[in-house]
Amino acid sequence: MALPHAVAAMALLTSLAPATSAQLPSCPQIFGHGGYPTGPDGWQRDQVRQTNNPTAISRYRGWGAAGVEADLQLTKDGTKAVMWHNTSTWGLSGPKRDVTAIWWAAGADQLKGRTITRGIFKGETVYTFRDWLTAMKADGMAGLVEIKPETRQSLLNADASIKSRAWSEVLGPVKEHYQGQEIILYSHDAGIAAELRRQVQAAGLPSKLLTGGPVWPEVTKWEEPPPSWTLNKGAWATALNSGAKRIATDYTPQLAAWLKGKCR
C-alpha cells in the first residue's frame, strides 16, 4: 500500500511535469502585420514594414507566418487597385502626392514604377492588387486585405460609373483568385464595410470572403524603434489558452519562437 506522503509526492511531481503533446493547445496560424507608428505624424516615422510586395510576403512567410494583413488603395477615380498603406506616396520615390489624386500609369506623378525609399524593403515597388494576389498564391499565404478609408473617394462616389469601376478593381481580382487561395476582405470604415457586404453579395461571391480573420491581442502600440515584444507575452498566452485559431501580430518571428513548446 502506498504511503500517504508518497502519494502526495507523486501528485506534486505530476503537477510539475511539463504538459505532454496531447495536452497542449493547437498552434494558431500567425498573420503578420507590418507595424505602423501611432500619432498624427506617424507617417513621418513609418519604416514601410507592410506586406504589400512579394519580397515582404516571402520574408514574413520565412519568419513563420501562414498569412499576412495588407493594404488596398485605389488610384484616382478607382482606376487601379494597388497595395499601399499610406494616404500619400510618402515612403516612395517621386513627388509626394495623395494616392487618390494620381493615376496608376499616366501623368508625370504616376504611381507605377515608384520604389520604397526606406526600411527593410527599400527598393521594392508598388504592386497592383491582382499581382499581389498572384504573389500570395505562389507563397501559399492567406491574405487579410484591409480596404483603406481613402478608397471612399471612388468606392462610395456619387458618380455611378466611378463607383462601378472602383468595385470592379477590388472584386475583379478576387473573382479570379478566391477559389485557389484564401482571401479575406475588411475595412475599418463603416461605410465601406457596409457597401463591401452588398457588393460581395451582388457579385455572387461567397460570404466567407468577409470572415475568418485573426484575433489581434497585442497590447503594445507600434513605434520606431519598436517597443519590446515581451510586453505582449501575457496577451499572447491569453489568446492561445482561449483557443484562438489565428493570431495577428506586429512581431512575427518573435511570436513564432514564443509558441514553440506551447502548442502542437
At 22 the pLDDT is 73
Amino acid letter, residue 235: A
| Residues β-bridged to residue 144 | 69, 184
Contacts 24+ apart (CB under 8 A), 222-226: 222/35, 222/36, 222/37, 222/38, 222/250, 223/37, 223/38, 223/45, 224/37, 224/45, 224/46, 224/47, 226/35, 226/250, 226/251
State residue 21's pLDDT score: 66
Neighbouring-strand partners of residue 29: 246
SS3 of residue 217 by DSSP: coil
Note the pLDDT tens digit of each residue in 102-149. Answer: 999 999 999 999 999 999 999 999 999 999 999 999 999 999 999 999
Does residue 83 or residue 4 have the better pLDDT?
83
CA separation for the pair 199, 170 (Å, rounded)? 10
The chain-wide mean pLDDT, for the chain, equals 94
Provide the sign of the torsion angle of the four alpha carbons 220, 215, 130, 54, taken in this order.
positive
Task: Give the pLDDT score at 18.
Answer: 54
pLDDT category of residue 16 using cuts at 50, 70 and 90: very low
Per-residue pLDDT, 9: 45
pLDDT digits (tens, 9 = 90+) for 62-83: 999 999 999 999 999 999 999 9
Sign of CA dihedral 157, 161, 172, 126: negative
- Nearest Cα to Cα of residue 108 among 135, 132, 89: 89
Residue 20 — pLDDT band, cuts 50, 70, 90? low
Residues 186 and 193 sit within 8 Å (Cβ to Cβ): yes
* pLDDT tens-place string over residues 190-235: 999 999 999 999 999 999 999 999 999 999 999 999 999 999 999 9
For residues 166 and 74, the answer to whether their CB atoms sit within 8 Å is yes
pLDDT value at 4 more than 80: no
Write the CA distances from 106 to 86, 101, 103, 180, integer angstroms. 20, 12, 6, 32
Q: What is the mean pLDDT of residues 167-189?
A: 98
Walk me through the domains of the chain, giving residue ranges and CATH numbers.
26-259 (3.20.20.190)
Alpha helical stretches, state H, 66-189: 129-138, 152-155, 160-177
Phi, psi of 62 (to 5 degrees): -65, -30
Q: Cα separations (Å) of 41 from 36, 48, 124?
A: 11, 14, 24
- CB neighbours of residue 110 within 10 Å: 16
The residue length of the chain stands at: 264
The answer to whether the CB of 78 falls within 8 A of the CB of 166 is yes
